[in-house]
Structure 1
Amino acid sequence: MKRRSTAVWQGNIKSGNGHLTTGSAVLSQTPYSFNSRFADGAGTNPEELLAAAHAGCFTMKLSLDLTNAGFVPDELETDSVITLDNGKITSSVLTLKARVPGITETQFQEIARQAEQTCPVSQAFNFKITLDAVLL
């Protein structure tokens, strides 16, 4: 399986701007700029997209692992915060809130840790990943 996205940038780093388009067209010429990355400007940025990818991948992998263990989650909600520090992405912090009927806290934590370590996006990252998993 291969997925594609395209970035277009015009101008210099501070006053220029660009847009991102995904093969699925979920992002279609979505703007990004210096201000959307390093300030509070409108548009997206690479770190936000990495956070979305990590939260989405982990949550789907957790659903798979829970299902394979005989549990059907009512709801899994994952927040990912990617940190960019001095020009380097240094971490992703995953915060999970889950409703999973019939599972014990020990089972839940074990399966959640397994999913965090084995989701494809986690495996692609070369920085610190932490998980705070809460069973509601």
Structure 2
Amino acid sequence: MTTRTATARYDGLGRDGQGHLTTQSGVLSDQPYGFGTRFGDEPGTNPEELAAAAHAGCFTMALSFALAGAGYSAGRLETKAAVTIEKEDSGFRITRSALALTAQVDGIDEAEFARIAADAKANCPISKLFDTEITLEHRLER
């Protein structure tokens, strides 16, 4: 079993507050976040951007391992994840994670690629974490 950690600190409250995120690996160290980075264009990060990065990375790695397990040995995968947050009556909710995949995999046909990609989408740990609609568009390049 593997456990990873991150820490969030928020100084001040509400819109006037300013947060900082730090990850166990140190790749984020006191990275600023707050209302302006989450709902505006201020420099810094936000939870939805980090969720999108996590989903893109998790799905792409799961697909890579699934393709290797199916006997494919050469290729390139690139996934963009778009996480949507919307206001609801009781606050905000992530309503969607849309994965857009571009791939080059030597020797695979479209049907097998689509099947393996759909399975990776359904079974990567971050997909299982999200309680939302997850879509996948893919393009297999030759």
Shorter chain as denominator, the TM-score bin is over 0.9
CA distance in 2, matches of 1:14, 1:123: 31
5+ residue gaps, structure 2: none
Q: RMSD between aligned alpha carbons?
A: 0.7
Shift of 1:12: 1.7
2:16 counterpart SS class: coil
Superposed CA deviations along residues 10-47 of structure 1, whole A, max 9, x for unmatched, are 01211110100000001011110100001111100000
CA distance in 2, matches of 1:40, 1:73: 38
Q: Which residue of structure 2 lines up, in the alignment, with residue 40 of structure 1?
A: 41
Q: Deviating runs (4+, > 6 A) in structure 1?
A: none
Which residue does the alignment assign to 1:81? 82
Alignment coverage as a number of residue pairs: 136
Query: 2:117 — aligned with what?
Result: 112
Check conservation: 1:66, 1:73, Cα contact below 8 A: no
2:108 to 100, 103, 109: 103
Which residue of 2 is the match for residue 62 of structure 1?
63
- The letter for the 2-side match of 1:99 is Q
- 1:42-83 Cα distance to aligned partner (Å, 9 max, x none): 100000000000000000000000000011242100000000
Following the alignment from structure 1 to structure 2, what is the Cα–Cα distance between the partners of residues 135 and 90? Answer: 27
So what's the TM-score if we normalise by structure 1?
Answer: 0.98
SS of aligned partner of 2:67: helix
CA deviation string 1:74-113 (max 9, x = no partner): 2100000000010111000000000000000001000000
> Does the Cα contact within 8 Å between 1:105 and 1:135 map onto a contact in 2?
yes
Q: Which amino acid aligns with 1:24?
A: S
SS at match of 1:36: helix
Residues 116, 122 of structure 1: 8 Å contact kept? yes
Equivalent position SS for 2:15 = coil
- Opposite residue 68 of structure 1, the aligned amino acid is G
- Aligned residue in 1 for 2:13: 12
1:123 and 2:128 correspond: yes
Cα distance in structure 2, aligned partners of 1:113 and 1:134: 13
Q: Which runs of 5+ in 1 are unaligned?
A: none
Q: Paired residue for 2:73?
A: 72
